[in-house]
């Protein structure tokens, strides 16, 4: 029976918890994208299906990471593991996770490029450049699968080091696949700038559209940080691979989920408007308005040096022979009207008046 591990270390909890927070947000974002298509009665385009496929691959990648933590010993020193745990880690962490990550990242990249062609593909140079980048992204994924499959000859040597055979240099594989992926990410982000700044709209709107690329830039930074052969942040120790590679796994998943969110944002306006006009949206606006009003009132009282709970003042009012008693409290007057016929029945009519001052 394979030994299992309860996540307790920083590495184990980071791999499970942080992606587990972002993944539901990604699922919600993709769901709202498809909801927007339904609301606007638009057909589903290729980029929509690619985003959905990327989401499925990300979920599969997260499941693989859980397997690596619970049964593969990811986040634990390698000397604490048994041979069966190392075998599971090698199969799930080195082979399956690499393929799922590469497929999800490629689907996200191609989806963005298809979106560019569909929306901004008026100029020929831009359209053909996007086609060329699509081919490069697909070619990169094919080379990644080939590199993973040929990482050791035979592949079993990956989890059976004493087996006769050879393995490629992990650092060369890191620089070849990792760095080229980062370059493609930056090129894809840059391809959005010319059509945005050529739009016939205000400067403010152009800046807003450009700011949406910030999420994509963050995703690219994560993909850059996971390249352990270039930066010391990840600090992978190949003598203790299970105990040192957990941060790279975390960056892998965060890169893809943020990329999916980035490509979905421009399509979410119809769904967001529906949420805003729904009962939930109205309730949220009331809460925010009430809190803002309460803070303004409190601030006004503090600036005026007054008390938040002024002493009530009583007034005696007369209205058509019916006695009224009014309680002034702050800026409102609570008025209780008494009527002999009501009092016999034990009924008291009370209303609240708002005192409004025209003084500024």
Query: How does pLDDT run across 322-337, given as a tens digit for each residue?
Result: 444 444 444 444 444 4
Using pLDDT thresholds of 50, 70 and 90, give the confidence band for residue 129.
very high
Kindly give the pairing relationship between strand 332-337 and strand 322-329: antiparallel
Stretch 100-107: mean pLDDT, rounded? 95
Q: Which residue has the higher pLDDT, 162 or 111?
A: 111
pLDDT higher than threshold 80 for residue 295: no
Stretch 101-108: mean pLDDT, rounded? 95
Q: Which residue has the higher pLDDT, 319 or 28?
A: 28
Specify the range with the lowest mean pLDDT, choosing from 55-69, 96-110, 149-163. 149-163
Using pLDDT thresholds of 50, 70 and 90, give the confidence band for residue 274.
confident
0.85 exceeded by the pTM? no
Q: Which residue has the higher pLDDT, 25 or 208?
A: 25
CB 185 within 8 A of CB 109: yes
The predicted pLDDT at position 196 comes to 79
Task: Please report the sign of the dihedral spanned by the C-alpha atoms of residue 134, residue 135, residue 137, residue 141.
Answer: positive
What are the φ and ψ backbone dihedral angles of 84, each rounded to 5 degrees?
A: -65, -35
The predicted pLDDT at position 178 comes to 82
Q: Cα–Cα–Cα angle for 22, 51, 134, nearest 5°?
A: 120
pLDDT higher than threshold 80 for residue 281: no
Tell me the percentage of the chain whose pLDDT exceeds 70.
74
Q: Which residue has the higher pLDDT, 281 or 49?
A: 49
What does the pLDDT look like over 135-169, one tens digit per residue?
A: 999 999 999 999 888 888 888 888 887 788 888 87
Structure tokens at 211: 């700011």
Stretch 314-324: mean pLDDT, rounded? 46
Task: Please report the sign of the dihedral spanned by the C-alpha atoms of residue 173, residue 176, residue 180, residue 182.
Answer: positive
The predicted pLDDT at position 157 comes to 84
pLDDT higher than threshold 60 for residue 278: yes
Using pLDDT thresholds of 50, 70 and 90, give the confidence band for residue 315.
very low
Q: Average pLDDT of the chain?
A: 79
Using pLDDT thresholds of 50, 70 and 90, give the confidence band for residue 210.
confident
3-state SS of the chain?
Answer: CCCCCCCCCHHHHHHHHHHHHHHHHHHHHHHHHHHHHHHCCCCCCHHHHHHHHHHHHHHHHHHHHHHHHHCCCCCCCHHHCCHHHHHHHHHHHHHHHHHHHHHHHHHHHHHHHHHHHHHHCCCHHHHHHHHHHHHHHHHHHHHHHHHHHCCEECHHHHCCCCCCCEECCHHHHHHHHHHHHHHHHHHHHHCCHHHHHCCCCCHHHHHHHHHCHHHHHHHHHHHHHCCCCCCCCCCCCHHHHHHHCHHHHHHHHHHHHHHHHHHHHHHCHHHHHHHHHCHHHHHHHHHHHHHHHHHHHHHHHHHHCCCCCCCCEEEEEEECCEEEEEEEECCEEEEEECCHHHHHCCCCEEEEEECCCCCC
The predicted pLDDT at position 187 comes to 92
C-alpha 326: how far from its chain's center?
A: 54
The predicted pLDDT at position 336 comes to 47
CA distance 317 to 335: 9
pLDDT higher than threshold 90 for residue 349: no
Residue 148: name the closest of 171, 168, 166, 163 by CA.
Answer: 168
Residue 195: half-sphere exposure toward Cβ, Cα within 13 Å = 20
The predicted pLDDT at position 137 comes to 96
pLDDT higher than threshold 50 for residue 73: yes
Greatest mean pLDDT among 62-76, 188-202, 325-339 lies in 62-76
Specify the range with the lowest mean pLDDT, choosing from 66-80, 127-141, 165-179. 165-179
What does the pLDDT look like over 216-272, one tens digit per residue?
A: 777 777 777 776 565 555 667 767 888 888 888 898 899 899 999 988 988 888 888
Cβ contacts of residue 270 below 8 Å, gap of 6+? 35, 36, 39, 40
Using pLDDT thresholds of 50, 70 and 90, give the confidence band for residue 316.
very low
């Amino acid at each position: 029976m394979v030994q299992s591990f309860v996540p307790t270390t920083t590495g184990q909890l980071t791999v499970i918890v942080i992606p587990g927070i972002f993944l539901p947000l990604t699922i919600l974002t993709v769901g709202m994208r498809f909801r927007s298509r339904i609301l606007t009665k638009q057909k589903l385009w290729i980029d929509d299906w690619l985003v959905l496929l990327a989401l499925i691959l990300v979920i599969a990648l997260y499941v693989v990471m859980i397997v690596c933590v619970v049964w593969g010993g990811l986040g634990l020193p390698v000397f604490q593991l048994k041979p069966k745990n190392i075998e599971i880690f090698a199969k799930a962490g080195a082979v399956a996770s690499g393929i799922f990550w590469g497929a999800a990242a490629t689907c996200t990249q191609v989806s963005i490029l298809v979106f560019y062609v569909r929306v901004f593909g008026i100029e020929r140079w831009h359209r053909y450049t996007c086609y060329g980048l699509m081919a490069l992204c697909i070619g990169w994924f094919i080379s990644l699968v080939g590199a993973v499959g040929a990482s050791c000859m035979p592949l079993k040597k990956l989890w059976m080091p004493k087996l006769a055979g050879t393995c490629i240099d992990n650092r060369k594989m890191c620089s070849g696949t990792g760095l080229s992926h980062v370059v493609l990410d930056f090129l894809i982000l840059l391809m959005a700038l010319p059509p945005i700044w050529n739009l016939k709209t205000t400067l403010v709107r152009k800046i807003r559209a450009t700011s949406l690329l910030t999420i994509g830039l963050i995703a690219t930074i994560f993909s850059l940080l996971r390249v352990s052969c270039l930066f010391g942040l990840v600090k992978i120790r190949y003598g203790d691979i299970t105990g040192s590679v957990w941060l790279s796994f975390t960056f892998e998943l965060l890169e893809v989920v943020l990329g999916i969110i980035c490509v979905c944002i421009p399509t979410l306006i119809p769904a967001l408007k529906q949420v805003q006009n729904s009962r939930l949206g109205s309730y949220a606006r009331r809460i925010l308005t009430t809190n803002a009003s309460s803070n303004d009132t409190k601030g006004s009282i503090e600036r005026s040096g007054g008390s938040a709970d002024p002493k009530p003042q009583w007034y005696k009012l007369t209205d058509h022979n019916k006695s009224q008693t009014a309680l002034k409290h702050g800026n409102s007057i609570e008025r209780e009207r008494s009527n002999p016929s009501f009092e016999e029945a034990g009924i008291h009519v009370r209303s609240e008046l708002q005192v409004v001052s025209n003084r500024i």
